[in-house]
Structure 1
């Protein structure tokens, strides 16, 4: 059984912020804060100084007291927008989940992580947990940049991979063009790949020893290799499909969410197209309700990044 890891310094920072939230606007001096939290005054000073420099707290130079800062307002707005978007997506995904007897998920990028914001599906059959997080770096996160601005795609591609990966630029370019043309992505995962994806939830792979990362990396396909291209999907032939995904956009044409319909079995190419079209319709409805708009592209993304 995995043992939870704790970071006392981090827990103290969280305790300071929680204390100010609970104070509901009350300004607190350094001595009082240290006393109320039961931590030393030097430790408390280091925490509030760092939080003030980052804008999470503000210091009144006249009374020498502290209060919540503007950085938390911005963070709160982003968090609120993400959860509101998840609620909107749930309403449009529920009919799909019922129609196909499958799990549908809304997820998005929050900071530097991918977060599962909401899920709907048959009771006891949901393969994911709301709140799960994954690092937003290759090989994880391709579907979160496929339909957005080209610059976002390039930034993701240039990130340090969390696991060693291979990149076939020609194939990845074909994946981008295919997904942008159809409006959805069709992905097939091997059983080993599904297990790896589950195990990676919440794991900081950057902290793994290099030799372990290399071994795990051998289990990961090259970027885009698991995505079906249109020509590979014969309408009459069955294909093993893990999931189908489509984007919802914000007002600036950026990907706000990715909506995912899990398949978890073999279906015909014709059935894949039907489900993909239905998922895109749901994503378009979410985009409209959120006041978003699909991006207008001057060019297609070209996976020419350094990694």
Structure 2
């Protein structure tokens, strides 16, 4: 079932303001980024400012989140203690390891970065509010603890043949066995996956769809390296993630560290243990 298009446009602007944070957005930024008409963007921004969800600087005519939106965020955080605890655990990972850390939650067919804290090198390969397709190679720490039918659904989103399926089944089994996931996907490949998903939503000719399916399968092979793959010795590790379980034992979110550098097997295991301890909230 499709949602309301007008409501989606309002939420798109709110999410864009939230992602920008302290960086003011120009009117043209909103129009260009969200591909809105000027009339639609102006009407929504005017209403948001009237309700205190956005503030417009009269000097440079830029927009930032307003006090009403800030108050809403504070209220939501107070009502979600597990998410607050996960964010605190991410901060502890940064202090312990020096790497960037994140909290990711699942919303339908997407993974949403709900917290991202820069590490000692101040690299920011992702930002809060970014959405990533819940499909291989993203979200193994969710899928590994999911019921069998949901595991098959996640694996099926990779496309590919039986070889890809068998490989992903091994990835999930290995992730569940050791308690954390290791992903070598680069930020650039993450952005490429987001682009492929947007293209798919817009509709593609069959021959182009086949090319896209092949590309998605390649993402999977790049994101996961076997224990004996020589590529492990030269490829930077993008993320090491572990599940945060709720009181019923379901994966509520995943906590991750982002080394963004080459790590040997011993260091990967060490970081994985840190992340697992942090996720045990």
| SS of residue paired to 2:262 | strand
TM, length-normalised to structure 1: 0.57
| Alignment match, 2:87 | 90
Q: Is the 8 A contact 2:136 2:220 kept in 1?
A: no
1:189-268 correspondence to structure 2 within 5 Å: 189=185, 193-197=189-193, 199=195, 203=198, 205-210=200-205, 211-221=207-217, 225=221, 226-232=223-229, 240-268=236-264
Alpha-carbon distance in structure 1 between the residues aligned to 2:162 and 2:256: 24
Alpha-carbon distance in structure 2 between the residues aligned to 1:260 and 1:13: 29
Which structure would you say has the larger Rg? 1
Q: Is the 8 A contact 1:171 1:224 kept in 2?
A: no
| Alignment match, 2:134 | 136
TM, length-normalised to structure 2: 0.61
Superposition CA RMSD, Å: 3.6
By how many angstroms is 1:277 displaced? 0.8
Alpha-carbon distance in structure 2 between the residues aligned to 1:215 and 1:234: 25
Q: Is the 8 A contact 1:145 1:156 kept in 2?
A: yes
Alpha-carbon distance in structure 2 between the residues aligned to 1:105 and 1:13: 26
Task: Tell me, yes or no, if structure 1 residue 147 matches structure 2 residue 145.
Answer: yes
| Alignment match, 2:179 | 183
| Alignment match, 1:118 | 115
| SS of residue paired to 1:126 | coil
| Alignment match, 1:271 | 267
By how many angstroms is 1:217 displaced? 3.5
Out of 89, 103, 115, the residue aligned to residue 100 of structure 2 is: 103
Alpha-carbon distance in structure 2 between the residues aligned to 1:270 and 1:217: 35
| SS of residue paired to 2:88 | helix
Structure holding more helix per residue: 2
Number of aligned positions between the proteins: 211
Q: Is the 8 A contact 1:104 1:262 kept in 2?
A: yes
Q: Which runs of 5+ in 2 are unaligned?
A: 11-75
Q: Show CA shifts across 1:223-255 (max 9, x none).
A: 8533234455999x5653221111111122211
1:4-153 correspondence to structure 2 within 5 Å: 10-11=5-6, 84-122=81-119, 124-137=122-135, 140-153=138-151
Cα distance 1:130–1:170, how it changes in 2: closer, same or farther (>3 A)?
same
